[in-house]
Structure 1
Amino acid sequence: MATDSTPTVVLVHGAFADAGSWSGVIAELQNHGIPVVAPPNPLRGLVSDAAYVASVASQIDGPVVLVGHSYGGALITVAGTAENVVGLVYVAAYALEEGESLGELQGRFPLSPLVSNLKEATYPVEGREPAVEVTIEPEAFPAVFAADVPTAVTEVLAAAQRPLAAAAFEEKAAAAAWKTKPSWALVAGADRAINPAVERFGAERAGATIVELEGASHAVAVSRPKEVAELIRDAVRATS
């Protein structure tokens, strides 16, 4: 059960999803007495989103384990420099190097099917031209994002997608917290949104403790919450 020194787990969702995608993982962690918070990720840009996550973490009393799914991994890489962050967990995620962008890391490897299935739209920005944001084409969403999730569920997830600002792909990470904080990583073996080689490369470079789930889609937190929660519990136990 939780003690005063048990870190609070902060779950950071990625693009094309919301905090509800962590529901199964939250229930698992709460069943084990682990305090957990799943804030909304603004999805408006690496710099501003990472600053938001760092602000959430630093206002929590006591130690924090940051968990990032997908694009959320890039955010915890930067936000993890917050003083009370004691560990990082990457779930089918980007683990960036300092000074690296998502586009640069992805560009080293064959592109995933996600890239050719993005749909552009615009959103208003005060005092400037409208900016571009992307979602996944609804008909491609099940195969690309959540192939191991029941169709009825993926149709709901596709309808409830949260768009990512296109600028997020070009902004560079201001820091790499894995250089000073211990890290864990889950590689989704059948991921078609991020090439699993990208997840593996980032995790190995970070010196993370790596678990690979064969057959797991990008939506691994939805399809296999017990295994995701187990890795997070490992991180909590190691940093308590």
Structure 2
Amino acid sequence: MYRSIRSAALAALLFSGTVTAHAEDDTAKPTVVLVHGAFADSSGWNDVIARLEKDGYPVIAAANPLRSVAGDAESVASVVRSISGRVVLVGHSYGGVVITEAAKGNANVKALVYVAAFLPDTGESALALSAKFPGSTLGDALAPVGLPGGGTDLYIQPAKFHAQFAADVPAAKSTLMAATQRPVTQGALTDASQAATWKSLPSYVIYGAEDRNIPAATMKFMADRAHARKTVAVAHGSHALMVSHPVEVAELIESAASDR
């Protein structure tokens, strides 16, 4: 009898602990996974990270290989799968293609945030979307570098980086960004997307009105098509919004994280 009572009490305690743990998981702030795009690295998120962490959000700035859509998405998806709680995926530029694909099949992703980023439909590529409306001057700013095994890496010419990528960033900082930029393969920019998870997940968009990589008209088209819950157009904003406008970017991410 005593053994039965003790077992019942233990079971009740364990069950109570499980319920409490689930309740804590439901109320805990989601982890924000930040994915940089082409011609950048994770350090571009530094000021955004500082604001998110100050407000109590756990943050991971995932390394984007910039080699192929499928491979890059799987790299980010592996990070998402390692997180037990809810996740908000945030992508910049080509990183938007990557998070769109990486969210597929990961039930813990609760929202997608696009920061001057592509929202591709199935079969669309970053290159095709960037040319959908006039205004991109990226092609003339690129410096191709042949790869030993075939294929081409693309950089932005350092002398053109400030005007092309980060016109509203102080020149000294833009110079550092140009020197530390990471190349993207030409193949990654022409790879067709295999998923359009923004059709089933809440999406949030912020872009610069003077973006020279992805024209503002293209960004508005993609945001409208996705029925984004919130779209922010930053007046005079460049492509490097996470660097030049970290407050606005962080605020949008927190909106996505807190919406039900």
Q: TM-score, normalization: structure 2?
A: 0.87
One-letter amino acid matched to 1:229? A
Structure 1 residue 199: Cα displacement: 1.4
Distance 1:61 1:4 in 2: 13
Say if 1:14 and 1:41, in contact at 8 Å, map to a contact too: yes
- For 1:16, the equivalent position in structure 2 comes to 39
Say if 1:58 and 1:83, in contact at 8 Å, map to a contact too: no
Distance 1:3 1:62 in 2: 8
Structure 1 residue 102: Cα displacement: 1.5
Structure 1 residue 194: Cα displacement: 1.4
- Secondary structure in structure 1 of the residue aligned to 2:158: coil
- Secondary structure in structure 2 of the residue aligned to 1:6: coil
One-letter amino acid matched to 1:139? A
If each structure's helix is expressed as a fraction of its own residues, which one has the higher value?
Answer: 2
Name the stretch that deviates more: 67-76 or 78-87.
78-87
Distance 2:26 2:178 in 1: 39
One-letter amino acid matched to 2:231? I
Q: Which runs of 4+ in 1 moved over 6 A?
A: none
One-letter amino acid matched to 1:95? L
Q: Deviations over 1:194-215 (max 9, x none)?
A: 1111111111111112111111
- For 1:220, the equivalent position in structure 2 comes to 241
Q: Deviations over 1:39-71 (max 9, x none)?
A: 110000111101111111111111100000000
Instruction: Provide the aligned C-alpha RMSD in A.
Output: 1.4
Structure 1 residue 157: Cα displacement: 0.5
Q: How is 1:68-87 mapped onto 2 (pairs within 5 angstroms)?
A: 68-81=91-104, 82-87=106-111
- For 1:103, the equivalent position in structure 2 comes to 127
- From 231, 250, 260, the counterpart of 1:210: 231
Identity rate of aligned residues, in percent?
47
One-letter amino acid matched to 1:236? A
2:257 matched to 1:233?
no
- For 2:58, the equivalent position in structure 1 comes to 35
Structure 1 residue 83: Cα displacement: 1.6
Whose radius of gyration is greater, 1 or 2? 2
Name the stretch that deviates more: 100-109 or 64-73.
100-109
Distance 1:133 1:188 in 2: 26
- Secondary structure in structure 1 of the residue aligned to 2:90: strand
Structure 1 residue 109: Cα displacement: 1.2
Q: TM-score, normalization: structure 1?
A: 0.94
Say if 2:142 and 2:154, in contact at 8 Å, map to a contact too: yes
Distance 1:113 1:145 in 2: 10
Q: Which consecutive unaligned segments of at least 5 residues does structure 2 have? A: 1-24
Name the stretch that deviates more: 198-207 or 60-69.
198-207
Name the stretch that deviates more: 76-85 or 86-95.
76-85
Say if 1:188 and 1:212, in contact at 8 Å, map to a contact too: yes
Q: How many residues align?
A: 234
Q: How is 1:27-176 mapped onto 2 (pairs within 5 angstroms)?
A: 27-81=50-104, 82-124=106-148, 129-176=149-196
